[in-house]
């Protein structure tokens, strides 16, 4: 029976540790599966453009920050229930999200773009996409775009992670995928992206990425002020250049 | 709680329920078809016949359904041969992948249930068949299998309801079954409690539907049995 | 060709990742088993209670667990618990943030499932203990609580063990579902390795082999406990039970 006792002790210990106290420092969430914006590096730490920006902002605000990982699907619900105080996870500012949370000014801009296997033509007009199987990550702007604009012509496949989209693209299950241009740029330039290319031009370029905070949180003004400062003093540019050879603001 | 989201999205939840029903029904039929020869091989005394189904059942009962789904859905496409085979048009569809894996999975359990039922048939009935000069195939077709179906009906009903619960995993390979639909709706509305509770209620209703169906089937198969 | 791929996979550095995941799988299984057995005993007592509301609550619990997918229960507990817990805590004047980690959410969700099925196993076992024993004990002047712990529970335990063993095997496989809320157990670790290597078949198959080994080891442990629990039975009873159970 000894292992019952141990399991019990374990369960009780774990339960006690869940009553985490809210500390004074700011907790910032990111996803960790959206390279090069946020990912887990070889040391097992969260890294990427989002993380660098978050750290730069915290340095400007002179507050202690803790970056935590959170699955994308639970991001906004967890923010609302104070699991953390801000989301710096390449989250687009959308009307639907604005009903739930507030956003700071944008800290970069993105667009959507189709991609598919090299050498296989993919006409990205609505007529050309008829009957194609197109994938995207669930609960992303790309996924919403598919559902809102192309639901009547394409066969939509929604995945839990962007990685799963790439996996099925390589498996040949998808004729194409729709994704944010910048992370896709990173993937296509890496080893795994060999044999795939962008199809058509970027669109929905008005995609502004901001930091999500709870409604009426005073953090919004602090973040905005700090954003202005890192834009002005060249910190932003330096971080940008680390990841992309062109400005993404 | 904001229950208006349910009013807004219930047609899509019903759509998801329909997908769930299709998955369960088709995979159950597939599972039953596969289970019959396996169970017959399992009751045979010959070790050669016994070995393969045994290994099959060991694998499918000893590993998680989620791993089986990933192994089949993502795993098979690792091999060029599979991607160029005639089956690929089906295997590339998550819908057929889900039905096949769920069917293969449930077949292992149903085979064991059916084997138990075959072995539970009273000896006298088998001997009576022999005395009447029935050949083995006739005996199985006319007497033993129908009798075993009657015996296994309650256990089989339970297995189908377990499949109903297992079918929720199809949502991990992009299928919009009841769970997949709920997750997609929540991605938009951010109301997990409301939508998951609504989906839970729908699952309960479906499981009651199945229970009722199997109660009727049980009565049908066992109508000649004395109470 | 397939065997070559597997052999390659087993000896690469990622195997360590899978082993770490396996340890987490075992931990979560043990914790959920503990929670589930407590809930099962509670559920069985409720269902056999003469107090009607308790009986109905027990019936409803079993009914819910039987019809609702484990995956949905995991999602509901993980995403839905915080609001509920904070509401309850606020009644007691506690207004800090409370959250459930994927581990705790998974243990609760699978513990609830285990408990629902264990309720039936325990109920059956309680009913199998001859009522004469309870009467004899109370005639000896034992209190109700004492009868429960000294007379009923030891016997119930023994009768329920095979049923509970099956539930533990089912539970161990169900822990794979906690990967969807991010707990880094065996399945999640495998997904991460697949992402890095792009060899889904190799790694999911390796994971399947690890689950199979866990199943075998668990079965052996359970068999040991079952045999041990029968050591007080008379030889005749033992052979009869063995014949019936085969």
Domains, chain A, with CATH or none: 24-109+207-243 (3.40.190.10), 111-206 (3.40.190.10)
Q: Quick check: C15 and C212 in contact, CB under 8 A?
A: no
Closest C-alpha among C18, A183, C179 to residue B172:
C179
Residue C6 has pLDDT above 80, yes or no: no
Q: Quick check: A78 and A70 in contact, CB under 8 A?
A: yes
Q: What is the mean pLDDT of residues B67-96?
A: 90
Average pLDDT, chain A: 86
A103: confidence class by pLDDT, cuts 50, 70, 90 = very high
Which residues of chain A are within 8 Å of residue B92 when distances are taken between CB atoms? 171-173
Exposure string for A179-189, b = 16+ CB within 10 A, e = fewer: bbbbbbbbbbe
Judged by CB atoms closer than 8 Å, whether chains meet at B77 and A171 is answered as yes
Phi, psi of A190 (to 5 degrees): -90, 180
Q: Quick one: pLDDT at residue C7?
A: 46
Exposure string for B146-165, b = 16+ CB within 10 A, e = fewer: ebbbbbbbebbbbbbbbbbb
Q: How many CB atoms lie within 10 A of CB C179?
A: 27
- The residue in chain C having the minimum alpha-carbon distance to the alpha carbon of residue B210 is C67
- For residue range A78-94, what is the model confidence (pLDDT) as tens digits? 898 888 999 999 998 98
Q: How far is CA B148 from CA B118, B156, C176, in A?
A: 5, 11, 34
The stretches of chain A forming alpha helices (DSSP H) are 2-18, 49-61, 75-80, 95-98, 141-149, 162-171, 181-189, 219-232, 235-243
- For residue range C147-206, what is the model confidence (pLDDT) as tens digits? 888 888 888 988 999 999 999 999 999 999 999 888 889 999 998 888 878 889 999 999
Q: Quick one: pLDDT at residue A13?
A: 46
* Residue pairs between chains B and C whose CB atoms are closer than 8 Å: 120
CB-based contact (8 Å) between B82 and chain A?
no
Separation in Å, CA of B196 to nearest CA in chain C = 6
Q: Quick one: pLDDT at residue C3?
A: 47
C245: confidence class by pLDDT, cuts 50, 70, 90 = very low
Nearby residues of A19 by Cβ (< 8 Å), 6 or more positions away = C96, C98
Q: Quick one: pLDDT at residue B227?
A: 54
CB-based contact (8 Å) between B172 and chain A?
yes
- For residue range A119-166, what is the model confidence (pLDDT) as tens digits? 888 888 888 899 999 999 987 889 989 989 998 999 999 998 888 899
Q: Quick one: pLDDT at residue A23?
A: 43
* Residue pairs between chains A and C whose CB atoms are closer than 8 Å: 64
CB-based contact (8 Å) between B187 and chain C?
no
Task: Indicate the SS3 state at residue C106.
Answer: helix
Q: How far is CA C207 from CA A66, C16, C80, C181, in A?
A: 33, 12, 30, 19
- For residue range C97-117, what is the model confidence (pLDDT) as tens digits? 677 888 999 999 999 999 999
Q: Quick one: pLDDT at residue A22?
A: 40
- For residue range A65-81, what is the model confidence (pLDDT) as tens digits? 999 988 777 788 889 88
Distance, in Å, from the CA atom of B169 to the CA atom of B177, rounded to the nearest integer, reads 9
The order of strands in the sheet holding A33-34 is A33-34, A38-40, A46-47
- Chain length of chain B: 227
Residue A15 has pLDDT above 50, yes or no: no
Q: What is the mean pLDDT of residues C39-47?
A: 95
Q: Where are the domains of chain C?
A: 2-245
* Range in B4-8, B68-72, C3-7 with the lowest mean pLDDT: C3-7
Distance, in Å, from the CA atom of C76 to the CA atom of C181, rounded to the nearest integer, reads 11
Residue C11 has pLDDT above 50, yes or no: no
Asked if omega into A36 is within 30° of 0 (cis), the reply is yes
Q: Quick one: pLDDT at residue C223?
A: 92
List beta partners, residue C195.
Answer: none
Separation in Å, CA of A19 to nearest CA in chain C = 6
Q: What is the mean pLDDT of residues C60-79?
A: 94
- The residue in chain A having the minimum alpha-carbon distance to the alpha carbon of residue B81 is A171
Judged by CB atoms closer than 8 Å, whether chains meet at C97 and A81 is answered as yes
Q: What is the mean pLDDT of residues B196-224?
A: 93
Distance, in Å, from the CA atom of C22 to the CA atom of C16, rounded to the nearest integer, reads 10
B58: confidence class by pLDDT, cuts 50, 70, 90 = very high
Distance of CA C227 to the CA centre of its chain: 21
Q: What is the mean pLDDT of residues C55-83?
A: 92
Residue B198 has pLDDT above 80, yes or no: yes
The CATH number assigned to the domain with range C2-245 reads 1.10.3720.10
DSSP string, C107-142: HHHHHHHHHHHHHHHHHHHHHHS-HHHHHHHHHTT-
CB-based contact (8 Å) between A160 and chain C?
yes
Separation in Å, CA of C153 to nearest CA in chain B = 28
Joined tokens for residue C188: 């999640």
**Residue A201 Rama label (left phi>0; alpha psi -120 to 50; beta):** beta
CB-based contact (8 Å) between A173 and chain B?
yes
Task: Give the number of C-alpha atoms closer than 13 A to the C-alpha of residue B161, restricted to the C-beta side.
Answer: 25
Q: Quick check: A86 and A219 in contact, CB under 8 A?
A: yes
A24: confidence class by pLDDT, cuts 50, 70, 90 = low
Closest partner CB to A10 (pick from C27, C96, C180): C27
Distance, in Å, from the CA atom of A112 to the CA atom of B63, rounded to the nearest integer, reads 40
- The residue in chain B having the minimum alpha-carbon distance to the alpha carbon of residue C80 is B193
Q: How far is CA C245 from CA C28, C154, C235, C242, in A?
A: 30, 20, 15, 5
Q: ipTM for the complex? A: 0.91
Q: Quick one: pLDDT at residue C14?
A: 80
Domains, chain B, with CATH or none: 4-221 (1.10.3720.10)
Candidate ranges B123-127, C13-17, C70-74, C224-228; pick with highest mean pLDDT: C70-74
Closest C-alpha among B197, B196, B198, B216 to residue B208:
B216
Q: Scan for tokens 């992009």, then name that residue.
A: B174
Q: How far is CA B161 from CA B20, B21, B69, C72, C114, in A?
A: 12, 11, 19, 15, 16
Residue B18 has pLDDT above 60, yes or no: yes
List beta partners, residue A78.
Answer: none
A38: confidence class by pLDDT, cuts 50, 70, 90 = very high
The distance in angstroms from the start CA to the end CA of chain A is 61
Residue C240 has pLDDT above 70, yes or no: no
Phi, psi of A89 (to 5 degrees): -140, 40
């Amino acid at each position: 029976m000894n292992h019952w006792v141990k399991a019990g002790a374990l369960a009780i210990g774990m339960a006690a540790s869940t009553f985490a106290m809210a500390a004074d420092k700011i907790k910032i969430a990111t996803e960790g599966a959206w390279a090069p914006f946020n990912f887990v590096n070889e040391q097992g730490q969260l890294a990427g453009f989002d993380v660098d920006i978050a750290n730069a902002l915290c340095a400007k605000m002179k507050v202690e920050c803790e970056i935590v990982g959170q699955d994308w699907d639970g991001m906004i619900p967890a923010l609302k229930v104070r699991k953390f105080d801000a989301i710096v996870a390449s989250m687009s500012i959308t009307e639907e999200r604005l009903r739930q949370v507030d956003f700071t000014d944008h800290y970069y801009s993105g667009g959507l773009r189709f991609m598919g296997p090299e050498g296989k033509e993919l006409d990205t007009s609505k007529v050309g996409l008829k009957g194609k199987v197109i994938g995207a990550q669930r609960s992303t702007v790309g996924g919403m775009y598919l559902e809102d604009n192309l639901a009547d012509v394409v066969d939509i496949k929604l995945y839990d992670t962007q990685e799963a989209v790439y996996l099925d693209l390589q498996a040949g299950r998808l004729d194409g995928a729709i994704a944010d241009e910048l992370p896709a740029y990173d993937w296509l330039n890496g080893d795994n992206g060999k044999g795939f290319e962008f199809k058509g031009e970027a669109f929905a370029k008005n995609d502004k990425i901001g930091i999500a905070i709870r409604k009426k949180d005073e953090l919004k003004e602090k973040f905005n002020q700090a954003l202005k400062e890192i834009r002005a003093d060249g910190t932003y540019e330096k971080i940008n250049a680390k990841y992309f050879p062109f400005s993404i603001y | 709680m904001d229950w208006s989201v349910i009013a807004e999205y219930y047609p899509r939840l019903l759509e998801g329920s329909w997908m769930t029903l299709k998955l369960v029904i088709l995979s159950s039929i597939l599972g039953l078809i596969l289970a019959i020869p396996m169970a017959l091989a399992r009751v045979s005394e010959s070790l050669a016949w016994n070995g393969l189904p045994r290994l099959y059942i060991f694998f499918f009962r000893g590993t998680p359904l989620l791993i089986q789904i990933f192994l089949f859905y993502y795993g098979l496409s690792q091999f060029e041969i599979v991607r160029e085979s005639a089956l690929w048009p089906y295997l590339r569809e998550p819908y057929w992948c889900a039905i096949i894996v769920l069917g293969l999975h449930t077949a292992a359990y149903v085979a064991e249930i059916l084997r138990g039922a075959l072995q539970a048939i009273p000896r006298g009935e088998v001997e009576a068949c022999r005395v009447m000069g029935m050949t083995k195939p006739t005996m199985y077709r006319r007497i033993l299998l129908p009798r075993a179906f009657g015996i296994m009906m309650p256990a089989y009903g339970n297995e189908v309801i377990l499949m109903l619960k297992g079918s929720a995993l199809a949502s991990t390979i992009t299928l919009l079954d009841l769970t997949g639909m709920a997750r997609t709706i929540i991605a938009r509305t951010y109301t997990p409690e409301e939508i998951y509770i609504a989906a839970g209620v729908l699952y309960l209703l479906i499981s009651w539907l199945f229970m009722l169906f199997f109660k009727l089937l049980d009565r049908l198969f066992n109508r000649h049995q004395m109470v | 060709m397939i065997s070559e791929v597997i052999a390659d996979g087993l000896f690469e550095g990622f195997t360590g990742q899978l082993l770490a995941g396996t340890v987490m799988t075992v931990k979560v299984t043990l914790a959920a088993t503990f929670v589930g057995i407590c809930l099962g005993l509670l559920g069985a007592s409720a269902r056999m209670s003469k107090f009607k509301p308790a009986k109905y609550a027990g019936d409803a619990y079993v009914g819910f667990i039987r019809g609702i997918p484990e995956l949905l229960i995991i999602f509901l507990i993980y995403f839905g618990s915080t609001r509920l817990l904070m509401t309850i805590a606020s009644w007691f004047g506690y207004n800090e943030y409370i959250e459930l980690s994927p581990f705790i959410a998974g243990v609760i969700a699978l513990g609830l499932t285990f408990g629902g099925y264990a309720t039936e196993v325990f109920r059956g076992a309680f009913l199998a203990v001859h009522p004469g024993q309870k009467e004899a004990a109370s005639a000896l002047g034992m209190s109700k609580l004492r009868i429960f712990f000294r007379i009923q529970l030891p016997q119930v335990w023994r009768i329920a063990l095979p049923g509970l063993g099956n539930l533990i095997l089912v539970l161990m496989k169900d822990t794979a579902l906690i990967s969807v809320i991010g707990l880094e157990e065996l399945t999640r670790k495998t997904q991460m390795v697949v992402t890095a290597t792009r060899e889904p078949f190799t790694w999911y198959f390796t994971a399947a082999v690890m689950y199979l080994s866990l199943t075998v080891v668990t079965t052996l442990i359970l068999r040991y406990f079952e045999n041990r629990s029968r050591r007080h039975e008379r030889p005749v009873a033992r052979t009869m039970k063995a014949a019936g159970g085969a």
